[in-house]
Structure 1
Amino acid sequence: MLHNTGNCWINYDLIGAPDAPVVCMTHSLTSDHGMWAEQVPALLAAGFQVLRIDTRGHGGSEAPKGDYTIEQLADDVISVLDALGFHSGVHMIGLSMGGMIGQVIAADHPGRLASLMVCCSASRFMGDGELMQGRIRAVRESGTLDSIVAANMERRYGPTYRERRPVRWEALRQTFLGTKLDGYFGSMHACLTHNVEPRLHQVNIPALVLAGSADPTTPPADNRLIASKIPGARYVQIEGAYHFPNVEFDTEFNRIMIDWLNEVRG
């Protein structure tokens, strides 16, 4: 389904009983709402309605030219929620860039969310700036994401995942390659300039921060920092997980997720 925010068209997927509590899910850079495929059956079985949103420049959403900010991406999500009539009580789950979006919504839009689950993310850019700029240059020079996909896949999944789930691994790789270039450049700017850390003390809802112990992109320290800045937030990590524990360790991730949601929905 498509929604016009007034700035761009945003694609989203909404399934589940109309009267069920809503879980809104936001994905990482160079992914789309399909990265949450392993979570949807568990959420529906637990009695939730699932809203998955393609960030601008990704999946079925439009890719405006120019630099984006995480605040703009958060506004896109708010626009979709408003259009659907979800003005409060939404449970937010975001991973990596999606977790940045979730933090901004929780900090800057009080009353909109019932809970927040941040996965493998950061409160501000703390990565290797030279590495990221090198990726941007490589994509600009080649005109394709092919030049960086292999290195990114290695940082997202452990060395055995491709052997265990070759079809799923390839689907995720193709999704990466399908990201619109304007969306990639705009979203990279958003991630590199992200800094919600000074505002996290404003978050006044239950929050869970989840990390992968072996994540080279947003290591546990980055996620512990988020949890330390949000009043009352809880921290948990999945041992051996890289950057996409929801895909690679879906059974354990789903158990943590459903236990958390059952606790906070009251």
Structure 2
Amino acid sequence: WLPQVEYFASKPDEYSVLIFDQRGYGNSQVPRGRYTTSQMALDILSLLAETDIAPADARAFHIVGVSMGGMIALELAKRYAPLLKSLTLISTTSGRAYGAADRFATGLPPLRGVSAIARVMGGRLLGIDSDAFRIKKFTTLLFPAQWLDEPCERLPHAARVPSNRQWFAETFQWRYRYTHRQALPGALAQIAATLTHRVSNAELRHNIDAHVPRTLVLTGDDDNLVNPDNSRHLLANMPRARLVRLTGGGHALNMQFPARVNRLIEENVNEGEDLVAQGGW
């Protein structure tokens, strides 16, 4: 989220930003037992209760979620839509293949994603992989191969890291030095939460689309983790939402195309603010 935090924090008169580690990850605790996305949505309300944002206030905040964070955002919107001014969903799903047997393949990650996740988790269980190997796997999981091999245009000094692949390898190495490693129980519990997550079609229509002022759905067309058809399904059941498909986009769109994603988030946030100000919500 660093590109988004830096962008919105550069406008302190307009925006305030709150980011956090979900349970089971980073600086947050790793409680024992089963995790669910609905439970993790309640974690957000508990966190907001500790800030100046009063969760009891109607239309108190905007929420943006990527991947599992998008699933949690859907759960929050499903239960507490009157708190939201806008909802931004990036590379995410309503879960469990929409509850239909013939959609099972869509609910699964593409084969490349399944194999990469299995290899990384297997390596962690056996303790056989180096940091460099895990970084390589995660990089190819989050971004399309073609884009990774393109010249890096991110920073003026990027000549020393000529490709996007090398740039993100260095970025992840930096993160590894300054963040807590995710404990294996936390990783497994989070994976279980994503596999059991589901927001029904009726909940998408009647709980979210009818009660959230503005919703944006973002997807790439080369996502190794969440099939883009999941975003089209969200739009089909939330017709008031806006769907944007980024050509050549992978899973981590907010990192791959930070300027474009920042602009789209800002547009959605401002539209939500305007609708609430006009009344009727």
TM-score range, shorter chain: 0.7 to 0.9
Closer/same/farther in 2, CA of residues 224 and 174 from structure 1, 3 Å limit: farther
Query: 2:220, 2:251 within 8 Å by CA — same for their partners in 1?
Result: yes
Structure showing the higher strand proportion among its residues: 1
Which residue, 63, 67, 70 being the options, matches 2:34?
67
Residue 64 of structure 2 corresponds to residue 93 of structure 1 = yes
The equivalent residue for 2:231 is 223
The equivalent residue for 1:110 is 81
**Partner-residue secondary structure (3-state), 1:208:** strand
Closer/same/farther in 2, CA of residues 215 and 260 from structure 1, 3 Å limit: same
Closer/same/farther in 2, CA of residues 80 and 177 from structure 1, 3 Å limit: closer
Query: 1:213, 1:242 within 8 Å by CA — same for their partners in 2?
Result: yes
| Unmatched segments (≥5 aa) in structure 1 | 1-35
The equivalent residue for 2:137 is 151
Query: 2:34, 2:189 within 8 Å by CA — same for their partners in 1?
Result: yes
**Partner-residue secondary structure (3-state), 1:182:** helix
Query: 1:96, 1:119 within 8 Å by CA — same for their partners in 2?
Result: yes
Q: Distance in 2 between matches of 1:177 and 1:61?
A: 10
Q: Distance in 2 between matches of 1:69 and 1:136?
A: 20
**Deviation at 1:145?**
9.0
Further displaced range: 46-55 or 79-88: 79-88
Higher radius of gyration, 1 or 2: 2
Residue 190 of structure 2 corresponds to residue 182 of structure 1 = no
TM-score by length of 2: 0.73
**Deviation at 1:178?**
1.3
Which residue, 83, 86, 99 being the options, matches 2:50?
83
Q: Distance in 2 between matches of 1:117 and 1:92?
A: 6
- Greater relative contact order (Cα 8 A, min sep 6): structure 1 or 2? 2
Q: State the one-letter code of the partner of 1:109.
A: Y
Query: 2:215, 2:268 within 8 Å by CA — same for their partners in 1?
Result: no
**Deviation at 1:71?**
0.8
| Unmatched segments (≥5 aa) in structure 2 | 97-106, 150-163, 275-281
Identity of aligned residues (%): 26
What is the RMSD of the two structures over their aligned residues, measured on CA atoms?
Answer: 2.6
Query: 1:211, 1:236 within 8 Å by CA — same for their partners in 2?
Result: yes
**Partner-residue secondary structure (3-state), 1:103:** helix
**Deviation at 1:40?**
1.3
Query: 1:121, 1:223 within 8 Å by CA — same for their partners in 2?
Result: yes
The equivalent residue for 1:246 is 254
Instruction: Map 1:15-94 to 2 at 5 A.
Output: 36-46=1-11, 47-84=14-51, 85-87=53-55, 88=58, 89-94=60-65
Q: Deviations over 1:168-213 (max 9, x none)?
A: 2433566898112121011011011111134212102111000112
Which residue, 124, 133, 136 being the options, matches 1:139?
124
Closer/same/farther in 2, CA of residues 219 and 114 from structure 1, 3 Å limit: same
Q: State the one-letter code of the partner of 2:10.
A: A
Closer/same/farther in 2, CA of residues 42 and 134 from structure 1, 3 Å limit: closer
The equivalent residue for 1:232 is 240
TM-score by length of 1: 0.77
Q: State the one-letter code of the partner of 1:139.
A: R
Q: Deviations over 1:131-155 (max 9, x none)?
A: 5667655533448896865433212
The equivalent residue for 1:31 is none
Closer/same/farther in 2, CA of residues 150 and 177 from structure 1, 3 Å limit: farther
Q: Distance in 2 between matches of 1:141 and 1:178?
A: 16
Q: How many pairs are equivalent?
A: 231
Q: Deviations over 1:217-254 (max 9, x none)?
A: 11321111112222411100222111111111111111
Q: Distance in 2 between matches of 1:145 and 1:231?
A: 46
